[in-house]
Structure 1
Amino acid sequence: MKLKRFMSTALIAFLLVFLAACGNTQSSEPKKEDNNNAAQQEKEKVEVTDLILATTTSTQDSGLLDELIPMFEKEHPYKIKTVAVGTGQALEMGVKGEADVLLTHAPASEQELVDNGDVQNYKRVMYNDFIIVGPKADPAGIKGLETQAAFKKIFDDKAIFVSRGDDSGTHKKELGIWEKLGLTPTENTNYVETGQGMGNTLQVANEKQGYVLTDRATYLAQKSNYADMEIIVEGDKDLMNIYHVMEVNPEKNDQINNEGAKAFVEFMVSDEIQKVIEEFGKDKYGESLFYKYTE
């Protein structure tokens, strides 16, 4: 009887030791669920934050931003929110601290923001040119003239001229030409201001069979919509169209995403993206819509 009791006690002790050993082995291995949680926590360390880009409508209407923004977002933890307005409005957003980064094309107005400390890290990123587009019939007979001569003839003949009238970079360029001529465009009864972006203004000019100053990129991207219109004046040195990118001064308010803005500026002037800009549109339109910046 004593022998049986001894054997039972020994068996129980053996089982307890065996189970304890198994328990230690299991606890030494990381649980799959714990691994998944750790991976999730690691992912959450990289937060995606919004980056507000205020830019001219031409970068949007031409399709360039559709090409570049996905490339930027793939490389950086920022989600770009694009506000495509006239350059004047975009610059005003910078002054008020309502955007993080600007991409515009009105160098004189931009320089004012640089001088006032409203923006920083100001860099030239690309260029194209302005052109005068009008009816193929060319009722004012301006084809081949230099820019100022063409504007004066349009004014003298009271030909239809459609202006953006929105304080955009294109509108600023147009007003600068009238000013050089000493003319007030609104004295032409056929001068029309749309107050809209380039795409819509081109549409109005097409409907009214009028002349319009436009950036080449937007026109080339949309010219299939305007079968009765063509480029009338181009190639004049006064029609250079230069784009700059810049960070809004983070001191404007504590909501400015300065790290994201800096990343976007450096992205736009990088060798890789400059090549993308140079090639953009070639396959579809037979020529570049923009040209990369070179010293």
Structure 2
Amino acid sequence: MTVQEGVLTKRRRRPLPPLGFIISLGFLTVVIFGAVFANVLPIDPLAQNIVDSLKPPSGSHWFGTDELGRDIMARVIFGARTSLVTAAGAVIIAALIGVPIGLVAGYFGGWRDTVLMRFIDVLLALPNILLAMALIAVLGRSQTAALIAVGVAGVPSFARIARAQVLTLRQLDFVSAVRGFGCSSSYIMFRTILPNILSPLMVQVIVLSSVAILLEAALAFLGVGVPPPTPSWGEMLRTGKSYLYEAPYYAVLPGLVLTLTILSFDTIGKQMSRALDPRSGGGTPGELERAGP
């Protein structure tokens, strides 16, 4: 192997993922697996046994039991399904609304940009929790309402990221070439520009997932989220705080799972952001070559 080949091989060699990323990915894999196959497990989150109420963690109840004798671990596993479904639905809603707004505002500019971004500014001016609570007050208390509320709260982030990327790309040569062929504006936005801004949007999907899980738990903690008896991490925290001295595991263990889940999403999102940025040393070999030495 020549010296030049050795340099190119070293340049193309990808660094190993950080330990935090591997641990976060493994933890999320366990959480998602438990949420997807919760019905297969021999546990019932709604089964009550008053005799066993507020029992500490043991071999038969790994996370203990709540005030109705329900298995807390079972409710945590099924609560993961509630949180992940809400997060997934919220991200889809936020992306379907926010990305087109950002594309149109960034591509056309002018009055369209002004009107659309003032609408986004109005949403940004309202705290996410207050906006979500207002929407739930209109739609009623249900998982669907919580999903929609969290999704609308996430629209501004997608809109602003898409607009910023379009402003960067719309004057580049490949976009000008497509425009010169007489392609329509919708074709340029959705078939030419959109595929080239998927990387930052995918990072935002991960980041918003953690925000959506936290917001759903906050709504449940305030008593306006998913109604009981549907298991919810926020609902368990709200109820468990009343027994914090008598049975601290009731609130601590679901809260620990919630915290680790949010932290795992955040860690993965940050690592993806670094990996997709050629200047940070990540990216594909082609991106590294274009980034220069």
| Same-fold call, TM cutoff 0.5 | no
TM-score by length of 2: 0.29
More RCO (CA 8 Å, sep 6+): 1
**TM-score normalised according to structure 1 size:** 0.29
Which is greater in Rg? Answer: 1
